[in-house]
Amino acid sequence: MSEDWTYDITQVKTTEIKEPLGYNSSEINVEDSKARRQDINRMKENKAWGLVTGQGRSIFTTFISSFFIGTNVSMFTIGIYSYNIYNALNTLFNVNKSFKLYESPEYSLLTYKILYIILSFIHIALIGYKINKMGFLPMNAADWASFAQQPIQERNIMNLNFR
């Protein structure tokens, strides 16, 4: 009782699909005009500026979080500051990769990149200052005292004269 079902594509009638109600394809102009390119470039520049302000917001976030964390040393603070250092260095080394989507031959992103790099250095300096205040960086002379060579002085503890 099994019947073979076959479907022949050659016998299908092609009908024209009508446009939906309210849609008119003749009104859509797809040509790339100068005004459209300027709008796209302006939008790309705004996105690039958004990257720069995002870096500034990350500085502010790091500042607030380091204020609330305090200067106590625990595994959580070490983890948080390690993550902050990693992110700050990662953003510094991937500047061109971050701005790759917004590049165009019609305008320059050099000022945005310079601001981004400056804010990245400020971010690293803020993290370094906080780590120094926690005592992780050897900046004092006492931190290097074990490496200093001290002269050994001979002392006479007891002066015994046997005659």
Residue with tokens 């797809």, as numbered in its chain: 30
Predicted confidence (pLDDT) per residue in 9-28, tens digit: 777 677 777 878 877 766 65
pLDDT (average), residues 75-93: 91
- 80, burial (CB in 10 Å: exposed 0-12, middle 13-18, buried 19+): middle
Identify the band that residue 2 occupies on the pLDDT scale cut at 50, 70 and 90. low
